[in-house]
Amino acid sequence: MKFDNEIRKRRTFAIISHPDAGKTTLTEKFLLFGGAIQTAGAVKSNKIKKHATSDFMEIERQRGISVATSVMSFEYNGVLINLLDTPGHKDFAEDTYRTLTAVDSVVLVVDVVKGVEEQTRKLMEVCRMRDTPVIVFINKMDRDGKYPFDLMDEIEKELNIHLHPLSWPINMGKDFKGVYNLYNKSLLLFHPNQKATDEESVKIDNLSDLALDRLVGDKDAAQLREDAELFEGVYGDFNNEAYLKGETAPVFFGSAINNFGVKELLDTFIKISPVPQSREATTRSVDAMEDKFSGFIFKIHANLDPKHRDRIAFLRVCSGKFERNKYYHHVRLDKDVRFSNPYSFLARDKDVIEEAYSGDVVGLFDTGNFKIGDTLTEGENFYFTGVPSFSPEIFKEVVNKDPMKTKQLEKGLNQLTDEGVAQLFTQHNGNRKIIGCVGDLQFEVIQYRLLHEYSASVQFNSLPFYKACWLTAANPAKLDEFTRFKTANTVIDKDGHVVYLAQSEWFLNTEIANNPDIEFHFSSEIHK
């Protein structure tokens, strides 16, 4: 375990939220604390500007810019933090889900006014599948929002997770006075329009301390004491182990835009969040502290310039040390590859890095050798498991408008779907190709890119499916029989798995009920 010290310094996480809850603002405040940026507004985050939602080229352009901020690394109090950005736009949700496979923990931002929203629910489902440790940050306390106890209830019920407040607000909106930090027993007073440097933290070891009355007034001091009694009864002591297992989520209250409660969130985060974790692979569990390097590709980003078809593959280092120019084993292709220009993301000293350790993310320039889920090792043959594909929500048939370009179309479809933004299914022995995406925008992007990068012209015809389910059966004959009877609804994915496309929930439930020998899965793990 030569690299223990390096690896233990690292924390790799993502901030997730429903759009507009404050993810970008919080990210920026973290970076300011970490010294990675000097002024607010310096980060072109993955946030896709609202006015661009109907203009896919603009969205792609912004996504292109945001490659540099896909991974933001900074040091804070001796801890090396890798913050992985996730696109807020729901049409790129797959990208976000994959990114969650590359982190060791997440911070979930919830808007105190809006509470749990659609994307919050979906993102948390993915976290729960992996038992990812979650810290909740209730944002916008400077606004009148939901009553904290009600909001906590709502989050617990809707997201199916136990919460444990580590700070508690004193009022909200224009009466917001601050938060009491239950973890280090201090009172943080809120002064609107003053930034973090003016933050005032008062140590109050005991809530019966009369200093509290002096600082926040008798009425609010009494309310805080009452609240504290109530939640101490409800939530008990904070259990760090339960947080690390993904069973309990600590909660903080604050206001990102006012930089309030952000520093205490970050301070607690570096104390309690997990170091790079061991990961399951097809043959064994891989310990993050192992000397030998291993890693997997969780995201691929295309170069928007049609003259350069190279892409950036995002590698999460899972064990050991990655070195520039060293040969590594590409397990799927069974060949040795090396990288002369491994790319480092925002806030590292240089663009090209010499080495990276378990927990880090490295950008690898790729000309088509990688697809999502590919594993690199020092020679051993295994794949990291748990890199799933989720069911698309919109399905369209690909119609080739130029039969002279069939080969280019095949290649284009294969390469573009390797990037993971869309899924390719085939039917009738490969004669019919169906693309499934999470958002309509993707079809426009694919059509445009096929034409400009591969000279292939296509049209898409909508299909009446709403969900894809991956099928397995203990008895292969049962699966064969099912696919024979359901030719219109069964397709094959790129990895050769049988997939059922359901027209509606009713059809799906009927098939599930009628076929007890077949298992219907709502996500496919690329490697099991």
Residues that bind ligand G4P (CB under 6 A): 17, 19-25, 47, 88, 139-140, 142-143, 255-258
| Tokens (6 digits) for 327 | 């040969």
| Tokens (6 digits) for 364 | 């690898």
Q: Quote the least distance from Cβ 28 to ligand G4P, whole Å.
A: 8
Whose Cβ is closer to ligand G4P: residue 47's or residue 467's?
47
Strands 388-390 and 423-427: unpaired
Whose Cβ is closer to ligand G4P: residue 254's or residue 276's?
254
Q: Quote the least distance from Cβ 19 to ligand G4P, whole Å.
A: 4
Report the half-sphere exposure of 157 (CA within 13 A, side-chain side). Answer: 7
Whose Cβ is closer to ligand G4P: residue 8's or residue 143's?
143
Whose Cβ is closer to ligand G4P: residue 121's or residue 271's?
121
Residues 138 and 21: their CA atoms lie apart, in Å, by 9
Q: Quote the least distance from Cβ 73 to ligand G4P, whole Å.
A: 20
The residue ranges of DSSP E strands in 1-48, in sequence order, are 10-17
Q: Quote the least distance from Cβ 26 to ligand G4P, whole Å.
A: 7
Q: Quote the least distance from Cβ 100 to ligand G4P, whole Å.
A: 16
Q: Quote the least distance from Cβ 48 to ligand G4P, whole Å.
A: 9
Whose Cβ is closer to ligand G4P: residue 109's or residue 518's?
109
Beta-bridge partners for 164: 250
| Tokens (6 digits) for 211 | 């200093």
Q: Quote the least distance from Cβ 144 to ligand G4P, whole Å.
A: 10
Which helix (H) or strand (E) segment is 138 a member of?
Answer: strand 134-139
Q: Quote the least distance from Cβ 307 to ligand G4P, whole Å.
A: 32
Give, as one character, the DSSP assignment of residue 281: B
Q: Quote the least distance from Cβ 18 to ligand G4P, whole Å.
A: 7
| Tokens (6 digits) for 137 | 């940050």
Question: Could you tell me which residues come within 8 angstroms of residue 446 by beta carbon, excluding any fewer than 6 positions away?
Answer: 416, 421, 422, 435, 437
Q: How far is CA 95 from CA 49, 282, 300, in A?
A: 17, 23, 9
Beta-bridge partners for 525: 388
Whose Cβ is closer to ligand G4P: residue 85's or residue 360's?
85
Whose Cβ is closer to ligand G4P: residue 26's or residue 315's?
26
Residues 122 and 175: their CA atoms lie apart, in Å, by 33
* DSSP H stretches of helix in 160-217: 211-216
Whose Cβ is closer to ligand G4P: residue 143's or residue 330's?
143
Residues 377 and 467: their CA atoms lie apart, in Å, by 35
Residues 205 and 211: their CA atoms lie apart, in Å, by 11
Q: Quote the least distance from Cβ 253 to ligand G4P, whole Å.
A: 10
Residues 356 and 80: their CA atoms lie apart, in Å, by 12
Whose Cβ is closer to ligand G4P: residue 80's or residue 127's?
127
Beta-bridge partners for 301: 312
Whose Cβ is closer to ligand G4P: residue 114's or residue 497's?
114
Beta-bridge partners for 490: 500
Q: Quote the least distance from Cβ 116 to ligand G4P, whole Å.
A: 14
Which helix (H) or strand (E) segment is 270 a member of?
Answer: helix 262-272
The residue ranges of DSSP E strands in 287-430, in sequence order, are 294-302, 311-319, 321-323, 328-330, 335-337, 355-357, 361-366, 375-377, 388-390, 394-400, 423-427
Whose Cβ is closer to ligand G4P: residue 27's or residue 447's?
27
